[in-house]
Amino acid sequence: AQSVAQPEDQVNVAEGNPLTVKCTYSVSGNPYLFWYVQYPNRGLQFLLKYITGDNLVKGSYGFEAEFNKSQTSFHLKKPSALVSDSALYFCAVRELDTGYSTLTFGKGTMLLVSP
Partner 1 sequence: GAVVSQHPSRVICKSGTSVKIECRSLDFQATTMFWYRQFPKKSLMLMATSNEGSKATYEQGVEKDKFLINHASLTLSTLTVTSAHPEDSSFYICSAREGSWADTQYFGPGTRLTVL
Q: Please give the residue ranges that form the binding site for partner 1 (CB under 8 A).
A: 32, 34, 36, 41-46, 49, 51, 60, 90, 96, 99-100, 102-103, 105-108
- 53 φ/ψ sector (left φ>0, alpha ψ -120 to 50, else beta): left
35 vs 81, beta carbon nearer partner 1: 35
15 vs 49, beta carbon nearer partner 1: 49
6 vs 13, beta carbon nearer partner 1: 6
Q: Closest approach of Cβ 114 to partner 1, in Å? A: 20
52 vs 70, beta carbon nearer partner 1: 52
Residue by residue, DSSP assigns 22-91 as --EEE-SS-EEEEEEEE-TT--EEEEEEESSS-SEEE-GGG-EEEEETTTTEEEEEESS--GGG-EEEEE
Q: Closest approach of Cβ 18 to partner 1, in Å? A: 25
Beta strand pairing status for 44-50 and 31-38?
antiparallel
